[in-house]
Each structure stands twice: as structure tokens, then as C-alpha cells.
Amino acid sequence: LNGASSAGKTTLGRALQAHLPLPYFYFSSDQLVEAQVLPAVDRQADVGPWAWRTVRPRFFDGFHRCIAALAAAGNPLIVEHVLERQAWCDALVRLLAPFDVFFVGVHCPLDELERRERLRGDRQPGEGRAHLADGVHTWGPYDFTVDTAALTPAANAARIAAALPSRPQPSAFGQMLAGL
């Protein structure tokens, strides 16, 4: 599930997890942050050993490798992500090449993103806007897309679940891999 901050990925992921007939692991980088795997990372600091700017590249490289490791162990996964860079998308395409990936774009209009961001209170103001401006949805094709402002999480989960059996081949990741 790729989309901007506050697009509704977590809520959709949980709804999808509840909707699918098989048990799927749910995994996101936010879970690692919330579990405090990083000591007091300062997202505002530009210098220092624990400045987010310093730690961030290694953190996301590790997160991407964790996804591949969980998949290699045979776990079906629902992964939530904000693919902020083409390099991140390319890395995931390579790491996940051995696996069947159904790449879902999670869209939400900017005004709704900003409304959700204000209600959450745990995001930097403008984070969702920045993700959209940085091209979160431009790195390649999707296998499926949803608009979380148009339908409920349960309805979007049902749409995704219904699309899984007839997903396109080659998949979006397969198409991107062929272009790398």
C-alpha cells in the first residue's frame, strides 16, 4: 500500500487484513518507529549521530530488507509505505523480485489529507502535501488503486480482495523490474 502520509493506508491495511481469508502480516515503518527501535531520533535535527537526516537512509534500507526477509520466510504480507524516492521503489522492486507483489496505490485528495493530518496531530503539518509534491505516486505503475476519500476502508478492502485473484501479469513490480 503506497501513498502519502494520512492517505488512510493504516486503516485500509487493517481493514484488508480483517477481510482477507488467509492471515496476513501487517508491516509498516511506523511500527518500527513506535516500537522505539531507534533511540530518541530527532526528526528536526540536521546534525548529530541520531539526527533523522543521518539515520533515515539506513533505517529505510533496513525496513526494505525486513520486508524481503519476512516474505522469504513464507509470510503473506500487507506492507504500508510512503515511497518517497525512485531509488526506494527500485530497491524494493529488486528485493521483492522473487515474490508475488500486488502493488496498490492509495490516493486521497489533498484537502482530505490535510484535514486528516490536522486531526491526527502526530504528523508534521504539510507532510502529506510534501509526499504528493515529491512524487509518491510517480515511480511506476500500480496493479490497483483506491481513493480512500471516495469509499470506506471496508469497501476499498473488499475491492482489493476481489482484484487479487485476477491481478495483471506481469505485475507492476514485474514491469518495473524489466525496465531496470
Domain ranges of the chain: 9-26+81-178
* 97-108 pLDDT per residue, tens: 999 999 999 999
Reduced to 3 states (helix: H, G, I; strand: E, B; else coil), residue 34 is helix
Which tens digit of pLDDT belongs to each residue from 130-165? 788 888 899 999 999 999 999 999 999 999 999 999
Q: What is d(CA 83, CA 80) in angstroms, rounded to the nearest whole number?
A: 10
Q: How far apart are CA 13 and CA 135, in angstroms?
A: 22
- Tell me the H-state helices in the chain: 9-19, 29-34, 52-72, 86-95, 110-120, 127-134, 153-163, 172-178
- Mean pLDDT throughout 1-16? 94
| Angle, CA 128 vertex, CA 125 and CA 129 arms, to 5° | 85
CATH superfamily membership of 9-26+81-178: P-loop containing nucleotide triphosphate hydrolases (3.40.50.300)
Q: Tens digit of pLDDT for each residue in 111-130?
A: 989 889 888 877 777 788 77
Query: Minimal CA–CA distance to 18: which of 159, 119, 154?
Result: 154
Which three three-digit cell numbers place residue 146? 483506491
Q: What is the model's pTM?
A: 0.90
The C-alpha atoms of residue 93 and residue 112 are separated, in whole angstroms, by 30
**Measured CA angle at 99 (ends 69, 16), to 5 deg:** 85
